[in-house]
Amino acid sequence: MAATISGHVSDFVLGLDDSKSEIIAKDLFDRKITLVQVVECLGEFLTNPDQSTRKRGTQLLVQILQKLPTGLLAQKEVVHVTTFLMSKLSDHHSIQPHAVQGLAAVTTFTSFPGGEMCQQICSEIFKEIQNQSLSQADRRCVYTIFLNLLNSHLTDIQPMGDTFVCGFVQQMDGEKDPRNLMLAFRCAQIVCNHFNLGAMEEDMFEVTACYFPIDFVPPPNDPHGITREDLSQALCQVMASTPAFAKYCYPLLLEKLTSDVQSAKLQSLLALIACLPVYQTTHLQEYLGSLSFQLMREVRDNSSEELVTASLQALTALITQLSKEAGQLAEFMAETLPDLLRKVESDSAAVRLPTIKLLRAMAAALPLACHAVALEPEVDFLTETVALLQQVADSQSPAVDWSILTECRGKVQDLCDSLLASQVPQLQVLGMRGLCALSMWSSILPTEEVQTTVEKIQNKAVHANSDIVRKESQTCLRRVLQQQSQLADIIISHLTEELRANHGKYSSPNGRQIFDNSAALLASVAVNKDTAERVCKVFLQSLQTNSEGQEELLLPVSAGLATVLQSNLISSLVYTTEVIPSILSFLTTRCLKWPSEKQQLHATVLTQLTDGLRSGLLLQEKQVASQVVQQVCSLVVSGDPALLSAGGDSPGSNSPLQALSSWQQSRLVQLLLVVIPCLDTQTDPLVQRLLAHLPDVALQASDAHTRLQTCKCVAAIINRIPAGEPLESVVNGLHTKVTSQMTQSSDLDMSHAALTLLTWIIKGLVVRGHKSAAGLIAQLISLLEDKVLGLKAAEGFSTILATFPDVLCVAVRATVTPTFQQRFLVQNLPRLVSGFHNAQPGLKEHYLLAVASMLTNVPQQVLVSELPQLMPLLVSSLKGGNSDLHRQALSTLTSGIKHSPDVLTAYLSDILPDCLHLAAQAPSMQERILALRCVGEMIQLPPGALQPHKSKVLSALKPVLDDRKRLVRKEAVSARSAW
């Protein structure tokens, strides 16, 4: 082997075969040879008197280092190699570039020791290297060395202080290549953030700010993808990295703002926006007048929309900083506002519109700054006008003289009325917002006019056919009632009348629209106890008066009732004497006659009512809650809420606990989810009675919704039974029933029912962190090997870790271990990984789906910590044909690149081709977008690992730029630019 290595080395050094470096690097990677052996064979060439021979020897060593994985070499080897390369910096000038390239490689190694060696490298570079004399690629290596050390070993370099800052400034001075400047700017930003610049602050500013503004224009078909915007943003980050630059930056920005070049102005504005929060008021007073003048002039000149927008943003940032110094702000406002207020009343639209925009920008930082502005109803001013109107309404203060607003009140009302009458939803929203603001001007608007204004909002809202108008109307009415509570009678009466008038017209499109809108609005105006109880009674009455054939009408009614009950504004008296009796009566009469062709609608209505009842019950005192529990359990056990069985374990003939009951009857089992949070699972005999019958319903009921809700009930009860023999007995009994049905039933639906119940039993135990879950989990994992039940078992892992608002969460008083999701993943992932590797090819997908189901529901930090053992499964997921697996794998890999780049680097060659394939060929737009994001994030991996793939990536992404979907094209541009 030694002879072979020696031959390869000789062939390379003598110029016979440059590919020998790849062969040697591969042998090193495969552990066939060691670095010591390579260096021994190189010895005579590295010390040869002939500089060209030393150059070739050093070049071979460096090329080998560049091809090695970052984690291959031991620390001792890295130290020796680094020491040698530093010594070569003082060798012949033709050898220096290779030494620099080698140091750029070794500083990325995970075993690089840091410490004093970082300072030694920097000192040697400052001493021996004149960066300006190197080629572009070699200068890039110098910046790469600095960036590697600053990112990974900052604390080791900081003791160098001014020495490092001075050396870096000298090395960067005169750099012109945009590729190198991107790296140099990143280094400069870190230096400014983490070093005391001291006497070097002006030099540091000058060496970077000399490039401002960026005038770089990339050549056609530039493969590097660096744009003017990239360079400008990077330079802005340097200029905004320390307040010490304020005294140098403000005059520079002012100079460029007066330029005739639009790009220079825009860059100056963006830089000002970025710098102001960092500089704050440091040195601002000296340049305040000039800066504000230039900003306002740009808005008035209106040379381009981009410049106007940036100028307004800069003005907002300026006012925001001034507001931190009361004296400066008062002086500025006193000088500026009078002139603006005069111009806003000008007859010229060219004067008024820019002035309103300026006032709007100032108001964004300080709302009261423009409280006295008179407004005109031209269409060009709509957005600025209404936004300003809202700020005035929100900023009412007794210290402000509001009388000036009475002069423009009529004009504002006319404007809002015209907007509300528009056929464009966006304009209707603006009109509604304006009228809402008007109705809150209690200081200047008479009560009868406020009432008229609110009625306009209501009339538009109940007839609205646009989602954004409906949503805005709900927000507006809530805001009005919170401030003008005396209007509650008018609003609730009007909406109640609309419900009654359109109750019999629900079959018509117009009647349905008005009824649905009125119900949603009625629910939204329950802003206090009084309004909530009044609205609740309206909905309860609608439930009782509903007739057959109008089941769809119950959907908005039950949704509105649930919203009100969940608002926590209903008193115990109303809840127990009106809500509970009305809903239970409805469920035992109307719901039992529900037509079979509307089962999905029935499930939605029942779920909404159940959610509302549960929210109300959880707020009641123990004695009140106990009465409700008895009523509900009696209904479920006997089918009649008025009958409460005293003893006897057999459910009545009409009981939902009969597995063979009709689907309408059996679905009432879902009501148990209302009362289980209030059950005393240790002493209440109802618990045992329920556990005696619920499993049979979960296993044998013909209705899928009933089976699922029953499984939830069983899991909720198991979760709350005190630990010990009673719990063990219940779990063992349930396990026996479930296993028997899974193994003996020939009906696939019944096997699936048993598996679903097993999953929920596991969830009930896992959420509380009980040890009994271990054996059941093992059974669930073993079922992944079943060709029939494997996919269903894989879905169960998602159920176990998912969060449900109606069961097994803290909100419903379940026993919840805070870290149960993390614990479940850590304990079971190794078994799933092992099972995946050992499974037959046709069953591997079951394991992948199980893992993907878990990853959806675990915190990011836990997922990242488990990434090393997940990687083989994620790679396999990308190669399969399952879209769900693709999406989960891509999301996990994208996150892993950000948090564990070293792990991803080792698999780059495996995942990159699949990501590129999915980016171009995946049938789902979401998959293509996720794949492109993953490819774009890969740019964060070490440059040495990315370089071999760069041309392939750029080529593969080119066709995606023409994807049929705009969002995909946008991601493709972003990813390709990053590469």
Most confident listed range (504-518, 800-814, 960-974): 800-814
Mean pLDDT of the 672-679 span = 90
7-16 core/surface letters (b: 16 or more CB in 10 A; e: else): ebbebbbeee
Model confidence band, residue 310 (pLDDT cutoffs 50, 70, 90): very high
Model confidence band, residue 146 (pLDDT cutoffs 50, 70, 90): very high
Q: Which neighbouring-strand residues pair with 807?
A: 804
Q: What is the pLDDT of residue 399?
A: 44
Model confidence band, residue 645 (pLDDT cutoffs 50, 70, 90): very low
**Token pair for 965:** 């979907």
Quickly count: other Cβ atoms within 10 Å of residue 836's Cβ. Answer: 20
> Percentage of the chain surpassing pLDDT 70?
92
pLDDT at 398 over 60: no
Most confident listed range (269-273, 629-633, 973-977): 269-273
| pLDDT higher at 272 or 655 | 272
Q: CA-CA distance, 90 to 569, in Å (whole number)?
A: 80
Q: What is the pLDDT of residue 372?
A: 30
In the three-class reduction of DSSP (H, G, I as helix; E, B as strand; rest coil), residue 423 is classed as coil
Residue 922 belongs to some domain of the structure: yes
**Token pair for 360:** 């709007």
Mean pLDDT of the 724-729 span = 88
- Report the number of distinct structural domains present in the chain: 1
pLDDT at 745 over 50: yes
Contact 742, 790 (CB under 8 A): no
Q: What is the pLDDT of residue 631?
A: 85
Contact 113, 75 (CB under 8 A): yes
Q: Is 325 exposed, middle or buried (0-12, 13-18, 19+ CB in 10 A)?
A: middle
Non-local CB neighbours of 52 within 8 Å, separated by 6+ positions: 94
Contact 54, 46 (CB under 8 A): yes
Backbone φ and ψ for 805, nearest 5 degrees, come out as: -70, -20
In the three-class reduction of DSSP (H, G, I as helix; E, B as strand; rest coil), residue 804 is classed as strand
Q: Which neighbouring-strand residues pair with 804?
A: 807
**Token pair for 728:** 């063990």
Which helix (H) or strand (E) covers residue 578, if one does? none
pLDDT in tens, 730-744: 999 999 999 999 888
Q: What is the pLDDT of residue 231?
A: 93
pLDDT in tens, 749-773: 899 999 999 999 999 999 998 888 9
CA 451 to mean position of chain CA atoms: 42
Residue 117 belongs to some domain of the structure: no
Residue 916 belongs to some domain of the structure: yes
Q: CA-CA distance, 154 to 105, in Å (whole number)?
A: 18
Cα within 13 Å of Cα(491), Cβ side: 35
Residue 955 belongs to some domain of the structure: yes
**Rounded-to-10 torsion of CA 14, 18, 23, 25:** 90
The single-letter DSSP state of residue 807 is B
Residue type, 357: K
| Per-position DSSP letters for 622-651, written without gaps between them | HHHHHHHHHHHHHHHHHS-TT----S--SP
**Token pair for 643:** 């009958």
| Per-position DSSP letters for 731-793, written without gaps between them | HHHHHHHHHHHHHH---HHHHHHHHHHHHHHHHHHHHHT-TTHHHHHHHHHHGGG-TTTHHHH
Biggest alpha carbon distance in the chain?
Answer: 107
Q: CA-CA distance, 83 to 116, in Å (whole number)?
A: 12
Mean pLDDT of the 507-514 span = 85
**Token pair for 590:** 């109307």
Q: What is the pLDDT of residue 394?
A: 56
Q: What is the pLDDT of residue 312?
A: 92
Q: CA-CA distance, 817 to 770, in Å (whole number)?
A: 9
Q: CA-CA distance, 118 to 202, in Å (whole number)?
A: 26
Model confidence band, residue 393 (pLDDT cutoffs 50, 70, 90): low
Q: What is the pTM of this model?
A: 0.59
Model confidence band, residue 441 (pLDDT cutoffs 50, 70, 90): low
Non-local CB neighbours of 418 within 8 Å, separated by 6+ positions: 377, 431
pLDDT at 190 over 90: yes
Of 661, 618, 620, which is closest to residue 638 (Cα–Cα)?
Answer: 661
pLDDT at 406 over 70: no
pLDDT at 60 over 80: yes
Model confidence band, residue 444 (pLDDT cutoffs 50, 70, 90): low
Q: CA-CA distance, 315 to 370, in Å (whole number)?
A: 14
Q: Is the peptide bond before 213 cis (omega within 30 degrees of 0)?
A: yes
Q: What is the pLDDT of residue 371?
A: 36
Q: What is the pLDDT of residue 759?
A: 96
Q: CA-CA distance, 765 to 817, in Å (whole number)?
A: 10
Of 170, 55, 146, 152, which is closest to residue 110 (Cα–Cα)?
Answer: 152
Quickly count: other Cβ atoms within 10 Å of residue 76's Cβ. Answer: 12
Of 525, 674, 542, 683, which is closest to residue 606 (Cα–Cα)?
Answer: 674
Q: CA-CA distance, 444 to 439, in Å (whole number)?
A: 10
Q: What is the pLDDT of residue 274?
A: 93
pLDDT in tens, 330-388: 677 777 877 887 787 777 777 878 888 888 888 777 543 443 333 333 333 455 556 65
**Token pair for 562:** 């649930």
**Token pair for 40:** 């021994």
Q: CA-CA distance, 605 to 607, in Å (whole number)?
A: 5
pLDDT in tens, 802-824: 999 999 999 899 999 988 988 99
Q: CA-CA distance, 615 to 605, in Å (whole number)?
A: 16
Q: What is the pLDDT of residue 388?
A: 59
pLDDT in tens, 562-585: 999 988 888 888 888 899 999 988
Quickly count: other Cβ atoms within 10 Å of residue 179's Cβ. Answer: 14
Angle between helices 867-879 and 883-899 (to 10 degrees): 140
Residue 873 belongs to some domain of the structure: no
Residue 86 belongs to some domain of the structure: no
Q: What is the pLDDT of residue 370?
A: 40
**Token pair for 113:** 């020791």
Q: What is the pLDDT of residue 442?
A: 60
| pLDDT higher at 520 or 341 | 520
Non-local CB neighbours of 305 within 8 Å, separated by 6+ positions: none
**Residues across the chain:** 979
Which of 317-321, 338-342, 777-781 is least confident? 338-342
Contact 560, 517 (CB under 8 A): no
Contact 451, 487 (CB under 8 A): yes
Residue with tokens 């598996």: 755
Non-local CB neighbours of 705 within 8 Å, separated by 6+ positions: 599, 603, 663, 667
CA 365 to mean position of chain CA atoms: 27
Parent domain of 885: 880-979
Residue 912 belongs to some domain of the structure: yes
| pLDDT higher at 426 or 128 | 128
Residue 737 belongs to some domain of the structure: no
Residue with tokens 């900083």: 321
State the chain's mean pLDDT as an integer. Answer: 85
Cα within 13 Å of Cα(517), Cβ side: 27
Residue with tokens 């109107």: 389
pLDDT in tens, 595-644: 888 889 889 999 999 999 999 898 888 888 888 888 888 888 765 554 43
Contact 265, 298 (CB under 8 A): yes
Q: CA-CA distance, 905 to 70, in Å (whole number)?
A: 9
Q: What is the pLDDT of residue 726?
A: 86
Q: Nearest 5 degrees, angle CA 124-CA 125-CA 130?
A: 130
Contact 613, 565 (CB under 8 A): yes
Q: CA-CA distance, 780 to 791, in Å (whole number)?
A: 11
| Per-position DSSP letters for 440-463, written without gaps between them | T-TTTS-HHHHHHHHHHHHHHHHT
Model confidence band, residue 3 (pLDDT cutoffs 50, 70, 90): low
Model confidence band, residue 126 (pLDDT cutoffs 50, 70, 90): very high
Of 200, 211, 204, which is closest to residue 162 (Cα–Cα)?
Answer: 200
